[in-house]
Structure formats: structure tokens, C-alpha cells
Amino acid sequence: MYIVAVANSKGGCGKTTVATHIAAHFAGRNFRTGLADLDRQQSARGWLGRRPESLPAIRAVDLDVEDGRLPKGIDRLVVDCPAAMAKATVKDVVQQADVIVVPVLPSTFDEDGTVRFLKQLMKLKPVRKNRREVAFVANRVRARTRAADRLEGFLTELSFPVAARLRDTQQYANAVADGLSLFETGGARAQGHREEWLPLFDLLERWA
């Protein structure tokens, strides 16, 4: 099973948005896809509950109940992590994940939070030993702003690739409200936003 954990101890950086979109992409490519929600807020679980049955199925996976055992019959598992790394289940899952996707917003508070998160991440042996892949997603980026430039500078100082740059758009909030992703809604208007995900998806296939 290929496991992708979406994590950053900084709150509100887009973990659930990114996790639900990766899961929708995998399901759309006919992988038997699971989505585990480790956050008490259960936003990803709520999104699954709203997801129309006509769309490619994504199975809700409860890793707490499964007690560390990975579910059977799933090719790809996406894990939406909470804005904290303290919980043992979160550390366990992040250690087991093949890829850790880290969304970051263009703000100094988020950059500082991400530095703290990366320090926690490096305490995990498989990550430290380079046995896990890590990629950033620059999220809610507004082109040609000082904040966007600063974020680029910040991310290039770090040792992991920036796999995608996602622009700020209300289309995400509107899609997830209906249990959808931008790959399943938004029509032609969303096309430019969909294309922003392609480098991340290419990287995830290369690492699979």
C-alpha cells in the first residue's frame, strides 16, 4: 500500500484541502483509495460523508480503531493529519508513510511554524535517514506579491522540493462543501487551478 500523509503542525495551511484532493485524484485514476482523518475536527471525514455516491469511491479508514494495522483492500491511503504531532498515532502514521506532503502558506507565521514542524519531522528516524519522501505544497499563493516571493525564498532554503503551487481561490471552499474536489467540479473555470496540481501528481507517481 502506498501511503501519503499530509501534515504540518501549523493550523489552517491546507492539509485537509490537499488530502481530500489527492484522494479524489487517486480514486479518479481507479486506485482503491482510502482516506484516514486523524484530526478531532473530522473535516476530511465530513467531506467523505458529503461525497456523492456517483463519484469514484473513497473509503473512510479509521486508523485508531484499526490499532496500528493497515486496512486491507486499499492500494493508496491518504492521511489527513491534525495541526499537531504529539499524538502517537500521528507520529506512527507519518513514520510509516511513503510520502509526507507539507502545505505551507505565504506568511511568516506559517514559515516559522513549518520550521518547527520540520524539526519534529527530523526526529523521526525513517525521515532523518532519507527513507521517506517529503514535498512542499505552496498554498494560497497570490502571484507577484511580496509574500509569495518571500515564501519561494524560504522554501528554496529547505532541502525538499516544492511539488505544487496552488493559487488562492474560493473554488476550493465551494467544492469541498459538496464533498467534491476541483477535479470533479468547477467546469472550465477551474481548469487553471487543476493544472497546478499536476507536478505534485507526477511526483507522487514517480515515488509510488
Ligand X SMILES: Nc1ncnc2c1ncn2[C@@H]1O[C@H](COP(=O)(O)OP(=O)(O)OP(=O)(O)O)[C@@H](O)[C@H]1O
Minimum gap (Å) between residue 13 Cβ and ligand X: 5
Residues in contact with ligand X by CB under 6 A are 11-17, 39, 43, 83, 139-140, 166, 168-169, 172-173
33 binds, among ligand X, Mg ion, none (CB under 5 to 8 A by kind): none
The bridge status of strand 2-6 relative to strand 99-104 is: parallel
SS (H, E, C) 60-120: EECCCCCCCCCCCCCCEEEEECCCCCCCHHHHHHHHHCCEEEEEECCCHHHHHHHHHHHHH
Q: Does 9 bind Mg ion (CB under 5 A)?
A: no
Q: Judged by CB, which is closer to ligand X: 11, or 153?
A: 11
Q: How far apart are CA 152 and CA 122, in angstroms?
A: 22
Q: How far apart are CA 175 and CA 190, in angstroms?
A: 10
Q: Does 25 bind Mg ion (CB under 5 A)?
A: no
Q: Does 132 bind Mg ion (CB under 5 A)?
A: no
Query: Which of 2, 4, 13, 15 forms a contact with Mg ion (CB under 5 A)?
Result: 15
DSSP 190: G
The bridge status of strand 99-104 relative to strand 133-141 is: parallel
Minimum gap (Å) between residue 59 Cβ and ligand X: 20
Binders of Mg ion in range 32-71 (CB under 5 A): 43
C-alpha cell at 180: 467534491
Cβ atoms of 101 and 78 closer than 8 Å: no
Minimum gap (Å) between residue 201 Cβ and ligand X: 16
Minimum gap (Å) between residue 125 Cβ and ligand X: 25
- Sheet with 58-61, edge to edge strand ranges: 58-61, 33-37, 76-80, 2-6, 99-104, 133-141, 162-167
Minimum gap (Å) between residue 73 Cβ and ligand X: 27
Number of separate helices (H) and strands (E) present in the chain: 9, 7
Query: Which of 8, 9, 16, 20 forms a contact with Mg ion (CB under 5 A)?
Result: 16
- Listed ranges 16-24, 86-94, 120-128, 174-182: which one lies at the site for Mg ion (CB under 5 A): 16-24
Q: Judged by CB, which is closer to Mg ion: 1, or 83?
A: 83
Minimum gap (Å) between residue 169 Cβ and Mg ion: 18
Q: Does 114 bind Mg ion (CB under 5 A)?
A: no
Q: Which residues bind Mg ion (CB under 5 A)?
A: 15-16, 43
